[in-house]
Amino acid sequence: MKVYLSRRYHFSASHRLHSDAYTPEQNRAAYGKCNNPHGHGHNYVVRITVSGPVDPVTGMVCNLAELDGFVRRVICERFDHKNLNQDSAFEKLVPTTENLCREIHRVVKSGFAHVMLEDVRVDETSNNSFEYSERERHLISVCK
């Protein structure tokens, strides 16, 4: 029997949605005001869900302090108060929250491997959230 553990983290970052494969007109059509050359910011909320058996000694799925330390170091410190377009992950990828969600999933899955990473959800605004689920192996745009 496994138990799911979810934990929320926050960071603020800016981005500009722009694809080099598109003309300026196509970019404006695809991204609207998010293509503004000066960019804009979001207060992102990341929810990480892991799962596993409950350790009979600790009574826990995983050590929350370890998870917090890891996520704050590799995700929050990396992205907080940064321009996502300048991050190495987005040299060739548009820094949409879809792609941000996938990058966070990749980093947490590879670096915090002793528990099962179930899914990563990123809230971009109160109306938009994105989820990358290992269980369903696809990206879900909850509301865009």
Q: Which residues belong to the active site?
A: 34, 81, 124
Residues forming contacts to Ni ion in the complex (CB under 5 A) are 34
Q: Count other C-beta atoms under 10 Å from residue 46's C-beta.
A: 21
* Residue number with CB closer to Ni ion (51 or 96): 96
CB of 120: closest distance to Ni ion in angstroms?
18
A 10 A CB-CB count for 136 gives: 10
The minimum distance between CB 72 and Ni ion, in angstroms, equals: 23
Q: Distance (Å, rounded) from C-alpha 48 to C-alpha 108?
A: 9
When the beta carbons of 67 and 122 are compared against Ni ion, the nearer one is 122
Nearer to Ni ion, 5 or 101 (CB): 101
Residue 17: CB minimum distance to Ni ion, A: 6
DSSP string over 46-88: EEEEEEEPPPTTT--SS-HHHHHHHHIIIIIHHHTTEEGGGSG
What minimum distance in Å lies between the beta carbon of 40 and Ni ion?
A: 6
Which of residues 34 and 89 has its CB atom nearest to Ni ion in the complex? 34
- In sequence order, the 6+-apart residues with CB closer than 8 A to the CB of 9 are 45, 46, 47, 48, 71, 72, 75, 76
